[in-house]
Amino acid sequence: MKALTPKFPHLLHGGDYNPDQWLDCPGVLETDIQRMKEAKINCVSLAIFAWAKLEPREGEYDFDWLEQVIENLYQNGIYTILATPSGAKPIWMSEKYPEIRRVRPNGHRDLSGGRHNHCYTSPKYREKVRQMDTALAQRFAKHPGVILWHLSNEYEGECYCPACQAAFRRWLQEKYGTLEALNQQWWNAFWSHTVTSWEEIHAPAAEGEGGVFTLLLDWKRFVTHQVVDFVKMERDAVKAVDPSLPVTINMMYDYYGYNYSKFRDVIDVASWDSYPQWRAGDNAALAADFAFEHDKIRSLKKQPFLLMESTPSATNWWPVSRLKRPGMHLAASMQAVGHGSNSVQYFQIRKSRGSFEKFHGAVIDHYDGNDTRVFQDVAALGRRLEALDQVGNTTVAPEVALVYDVENRWAMENAAGPRNCGIHYREQILAHYRALWEQGIPVDVIDEEGDLNGYKLVVAPMLYLLRAGFSQKLRDFVEQGGTLVGTYLTGLVNENDLCLLGGWPGEGLQEVFGVWNEDTDALWDGEENQVDLDNGRSYKAKELCALLHGRGAQALGVYSRDFYAGEAAVTVNRFGQGKAFYIGAFLEQDFYRDFYRKLGRELEVKRALAVELPHGVEACLRENQEEAYVFLQNFSGARQTMALPAGWQLLSPQGLSPQGGGNSVTLAPYDSQTLWKRK
């Protein structure tokens, strides 16, 4: 497998480091290097917010301090992930060139300050960023200590300035060609919204157009396109100097302002910033939620990713800054590794002395010493990672794909539909995910652009919007022997948000699922129906209940209440060589648990371990041709013991000297243990 960072092909341990805040404090860098070595930190991310130090006055670059830092670190065995500083523009620049500041939907331009708030269309900002990125690359790309580009920081948000609006119109012109086509696809005859010139089109706004759903969808797609274009500009600037140095962008938890999958081909390495709000006690639900996010990021490139940021203790922006309970630093970090991360990186190495983040958790506290609980946790983790270095040559190779599609989410959450008080797409996705996670079944999270070949099972909940070609992929997948799970609200609209005619699920999926979904009943919060399944159990149904007519499918469960009592709620249909399940309602979690336990066994889907996992214990499998690792994390908050299947060795925290097997493994609260086997 190709290393993510070829110049330093190891598991990375480190984080954001901002020496630019300490340039007038001689001695800090020396202390920090000493502490980094003690904590087995081998890598830092530099210059993320350092533009004002890199270009103190327009056109006057000062990179000497950065060179000294990079060189000093390198001499001490610490590598650099170098950022381009476009995430925060210097005040002189935003005062001199107001057009680089963002405009709100109502037309008001932001004042200077803050961060992550530049206009991504502005030719001036692009020029400034391109010049800076080029200069940084010319000076540092070939430095042996610089292993990766960290383009900007957490790209986010939207700009509504005149330049962005004009670019949106050009994008629409390219997409639709003529106004007639646009009017027709946007269904603009409705409320007399027919546009007669491109200039009449404006981005959606609360005070303006908010009801043309295809406009909303196209705007979101355009924003993604424009930011991808900005990222490409940054990538091209640095790659022009040295194409071999890989680039990443650090993505965020559950961020769907942009469609991250469109960044897939622009970046070499996927990375993200993970800040779970762990509590005392049972954290199983939160662990499953973050496991899903790790899997989503890994699935972007279908190769290991980097955990670019996490807090060593707490953040300063949660409502309550709960510290990590003893052990949790280990469990949370190894969870990332188990799901495919080749790093554990923090925000940040040294705590800021002033301003917004002075109380944010950091490896080195204001106190400075190495005897804090946080520092010792970090150092212990550093030792573990060093011992597990070979894990970086393995990856996660699932047989199950879960389809989570951001465009589908935009469309569904925008639509005035059956449940405006909460359509709960992500919750429904997580209900399926959690049931798979509880069994230690590795899962890829793909979207409608994904390739279904090679999977045994495809789970595609609430596939409301069918993007071009996806229904055909599903059909082929099942026809050729795959198993598909679909649910209520599937196949309602095409990719331009126009309802599919001829009954739901549309585009031939009625044939695949063997059902026609005539209507969908929406329930108020607190209301319930019930589904009686052929396994003799009954499960509560909430929120949405599809009213189904069989078109060849066999009913596995029926509703037991209301005017549709006795009618099919869960079905299965044979189609070609495969089969397709349809789950008509949002059922209680026990349903998904029972359903996937049975289905997983039937299909003999790959599991990390062929044993029952105790509550809250996850099992993650990383493998290559020669060897396999299982990472067990206990998020239950209680001590747990489980069977250890034959063939697996328990590794000691020092790593690859196997402790030997017993018949069981015991995990203290928030413990993590690693198992190993040669294949």
Binding residues vs ligand GLA (CB under 6 A): 153-154, 273, 275, 309, 315, 347, 357, 360
Question: In the bound complex, what is the minimum distance in angstroms from residue 571's beta carbon to ligand GLA?
Answer: 44
Question: In the bound complex, what is the minimum distance in angstroms from residue 114's beta carbon to ligand GLA?
Answer: 12
User: Residue 337 CB: number of other CB atoms within 10 A?
Assistant: 28
Considering beta carbons, is residue 218 or 309 the nearer one to ligand GLA?
309
Considering beta carbons, is residue 17 or 477 the nearer one to ligand GLA?
17
**Per rule CB under 5 A, is residue 642 in the interface with Zn ion?**
no
Residue nearest to ligand GLA (CB): 273
Cα–Cα distances (Å) from 465 to 57, 505, 583, in that order, read 50, 10, 17
Selection from Zn ion, ligand GLA, none that 466 binds (CB < 5 to 8 A by kind) is: none
**Per rule CB under 5 A, is residue 94 in the interface with Zn ion?**
no
Cα–Cα distances (Å) from 307 to 116, 337, 392, in that order, read 20, 8, 13
Selection from Zn ion, ligand GLA, none that 161 binds (CB < 5 to 8 A by kind) is: Zn ion
Segment near Zn ion (CB under 5 A), from 27-35, 156-164, 343-351, 620-628?
156-164
| Beta strands 465-466; 655-658: pairing state | unpaired
**Per rule CB under 5 A, is residue 159 in the interface with Zn ion?**
yes
Going by the DSSP 8-state scheme, the letter that residue 115 receives in this structure is S
Considering beta carbons, is residue 124 or 551 the nearer one to Zn ion?
124
Considering beta carbons, is residue 50 or 216 the nearer one to ligand GLA?
50
Selection from Zn ion, ligand GLA, none that 543 binds (CB < 5 to 8 A by kind) is: none
The C-alpha atoms of residue 381 and residue 346 are separated, in whole angstroms, by 12
Selection from ligand GLA, Zn ion, none that 32 binds (CB < 5 to 8 A by kind) is: none
Query: Catalytic site residue 99?
Result: no
Selection from Zn ion, ligand GLA, none that 185 binds (CB < 5 to 8 A by kind) is: none
SS3 of residue 484 by DSSP = strand
**Cα four-point dihedral sign 667, 397, 297, 204:** negative
The C-alpha atoms of residue 480 and residue 289 are separated, in whole angstroms, by 32
The kind and range of the H/E element at 134 are helix 123-140
Query: Catalytic site residue 67?
Result: no
User: Residue 232 CB: number of other CB atoms within 10 A?
Assistant: 16
Question: In the bound complex, what is the minimum distance in angstroms from residue 154's beta carbon to ligand GLA?
Answer: 5
For residue 542, the number of C-alpha atoms closer than 13 Å in the C-beta half-sphere is: 15
**Cα four-point dihedral sign 57, 60, 63, 64:** negative
For residue 151, the number of C-alpha atoms closer than 13 Å in the C-beta half-sphere is: 31
Question: In the bound complex, what is the minimum distance in angstroms from residue 347's beta carbon to ligand GLA?
Answer: 4
The one-letter amino acid at 112: S
The C-alpha atoms of residue 66 and residue 178 are separated, in whole angstroms, by 51
- Choose the catalytic residue: 158, 234, 293, 309: 309
Considering beta carbons, is residue 45 or 487 the nearer one to ligand GLA?
45
Selection from Zn ion, ligand GLA, none that 532 binds (CB < 5 to 8 A by kind) is: none
Question: In the bound complex, what is the minimum distance in angstroms from residue 273's beta carbon to ligand GLA?
Answer: 4
- Surface-to-core class of residue 119, CB atoms within 10 Å of its CB (0-12 exposed, 13-18 middle, 19+ buried): buried
Considering beta carbons, is residue 162 or 662 the nearer one to Zn ion?
162
Find all residues with CB under 8 Å of 126, minimum gap 6, and list them: 230, 233
Q: Does residue 159 have a known ligand-binding role?
A: yes
The one-letter amino acid at 420: N
The residues with which 209 forms a beta bridge, in sequence order, are none
**Per rule CB under 5 A, is residue 119 in the interface with Zn ion?**
yes
**Per rule CB under 5 A, is residue 121 in the interface with Zn ion?**
yes
Binding site membership for substrate: which residues?
115, 153, 317
Residues near Zn ion (CB under 5 A) are: 119, 121, 159, 161, 164
Binding site membership: which residues?
115, 119, 153, 159, 161, 164, 317
Would you please indicate which residues are annotated as catalytic (active-site) residues? Answer: 154, 309
